[in-house]
Chain A
Amino acid sequence: MSDFKVNHRDGEGFSVLELKGYLDAHTAPDLETTFQKLLTDKKYNIIVNCKDLTYISSAGLGVFMAYIEDVRKNRGDIKLTNMSPKVYNVFDLLGFPVLYEIYRDEHEAANKFRQQSKKG
């Protein structure tokens, strides 16, 4: 049984990571590996869909912190979507909504990337 899963798929001009299950100190390295691979492949427009994410601790939040700087240096972004109120609450307690764009769904985040690429 796996407590956590990351599914990666590519859209037009962005990559989507679908997170499922529990993101804690045990499973955070799985997400780190996925982010590392995206950066190696120079994929800097990243949407993280949290629809099936049932739990996050600061170890999980730390993964986003670890990669956001590199991603933005390369004119990309990490945009988060579909958070349950429980997961959003943890992001909120740590002030993440100031630093990260959080959208209701993937579609909104994808539109934002499209607008940004037109401007850029």
Chain B
Amino acid sequence: MAKSMTKTIPSKTGKLLEVREFVASEARAFGFSDEDISKIALAVDEACTNIIRHAYQNDPNRAISITIQKKRDRFEVSIVDDGKKFDPAVLKPLNLKEHLTQYRRGGLGVYLMKTLMDKVEYNTLGDKKNEVRLTKFLHPVRARQ
């Protein structure tokens, strides 16, 4: 049976540390290695940072809710906001070398999330809220077979 828990924070960067600790502690309890725990916490940080900066445009009085669902073989983190919709299609696939040599800072968070997690999905929920859903499999090789 899937177990889920939710944490809701105001849209402030000062809350990122608390979010990382929440996610890391649940990922640890689920059985991930230290390396995977770091990856998941960083991916969730990147998602929340993007929401604060872009969806809420640095308005600190909005809410972000982070729900962790532990399923048999996977750990899912759903991050929900009701700010400006993010359309991942507008971001061209990132050519990392070209991006860096032009000293461009944007888009790195999205690239990192994709690299760190097994799945990154963007959904619009029924109440027009935005969801980014990050998934990591406990045993990626077996899970993909």
Q: Which residues of A contact B (CB under 8 A)?
A: 3, 22, 24-26, 55, 57-59, 61-62, 65-66, 68-69, 86, 89-90, 93-96, 98-99
Contact = CB atoms under 8 A, between A and B. Distances in A.
The majority secondary structure among interface residues of chain B is helix
Contacts, number: 67
A61 B105 CA distance: 8
Given A22-B17, A98-B100, 10 more contacts: A24-B13, A25-B16, A25-B45, A26-B12, A26-B16, A26-B17, A55-B42, A57-B46, A94-B111, A94-B112
B100 A93 contact: no
B115 A25 contact: no
8 contacts: A22-B17, A26-B17, A57-B46, A58-B49, A68-B103, A93-B115, A93-B116, A94-B96
Interface residues of B, number: 27
B1 to A, nearest CB: 33
Interface of B: 12-14, 16-17, 20, 35, 38, 42, 45-46, 49, 52-53, 96-97, 100-101, 103-105, 108-109, 111-112, 115-116
Given A25-B49, A68-B103, A61 B108 contact: yes
A57 B12 CA distance: 16
